[in-house]
Each structure stands twice: as structure tokens, then as C-alpha cells.
Amino acid sequence: MQVLYIILGALAMLILGLFVFSLYLPSRLKIERALLMVARPEVIFREVDTIRNWERWSPWHQLDPAMKIVYGEKESGAGASYSWESKKRNVGRGSLIITESRPYEYIALHINFMEQGASKGYFRFEPAGDRTRVTWGMEVAIGQHPARKFMGLMMDKWIGRDFERGLHKLEEASRV
């Protein structure tokens, strides 16, 4: 019986320790990846700013080509939007809207992942000689829940890998 109390006590200390540790984890995340592309900023910008083009390079479109997509009335620039629904858990359902579009420089996005919440995304386009440095980023508010904070430790790796794949596909699409 004493062994059981020791095990329960150790388990309680572990849970308490993890909870206290989670208090020091950030409640907001910034995930960002960049790629130096062999293409002009205006070409890459148009590829991102035109919402239907995302089917060619978005990593999530590649994960589920059969997902249902509904486009908004506007096809490019601020106000352009689409929503998606997938049976694949790692794609899920959500919506995306371009909230700001500064030609050849910057695109801001509002992304709603429904059950997972909303985030702000962005693309920056910086000329670098005959190339363009494209940065794809996302800012996510994960809140104070300890489980979400621990999950946040892995989000940079998970989403960052998708961003890297997407940037390489975007570069390919911009060369066509």
C-alpha cells in the first residue's frame, strides 16, 4: 500500500511540475519560414494574392486534393477569400481571407481553423538582386491552457515544415 502512495505522490508532483512549467511557456507563437526564390517579387506576389492559385502550391491542398473549396466573390487583393473542408484530420476545415494587400511587398491574412481557433498569417516579398526573399509567417494565440501551451512547443516544427514545402511549391509555380 505504501508503494501505491509513493507512486501517486510522484504522479501528483509530476503533474504539478508540468503545470508550473506551463506557466512559463508563451501564450502566443510566431512561426516563420523564408526562402530566396529565383523570381521577381511581382510574379510571386500575384501567385499568392490570387486566391485560386493557392491550389497549385499550398501544402494543405497537396495533402488533400479532394477537399471541398468554396471561393468568395473577390479573387485577389484585400477581401479575397476561400473556405475549405476536408475529411483528413490534419487539413480539417476553415476559412482564409486576405485582409491587406500591398502590391509586391506584403499580404496579410486572417485564417480561421474553426475548432483550433483563428490566427494571423502574412507573406513578405523583399527584392534581393535578381531574386526575391519570400517570408511566410503566422501568429497564433494559443491561450493559457497548459495542454495547448505544450502543443505549442511542437507547432513551429509541424507548421514550419508545411510552410517550407509550400514555399518550394510557390517557387515552382512562380517559374511557370
pLDDT over 80 (residue 14): no
Residue 77 placed within a domain: yes
Q: Report the number of distinct structural domains present in the chain.
A: 1
Residue 14 placed within a domain: no
Rounded Cα distance, 175 and 5, in Å: 65
- Per-residue pLDDT of 112-169, as tens digits, reads 976 667 889 999 999 998 899 999 999 987 777 776 776 777 778 888 999 999 999 9
Residue 3 placed within a domain: no
pTM of the model: 0.83
How would residue 18 be classed by pLDDT, with cut points 50, 70 and 90?
Answer: low
Task: Tell me the three cell numbers of residue 148.
Answer: 495547448
Give the residue numbers spanning the domain of 134: 27-175
- Per-residue pLDDT of 101-120, as tens digits, reads 999 999 999 999 766 678 89
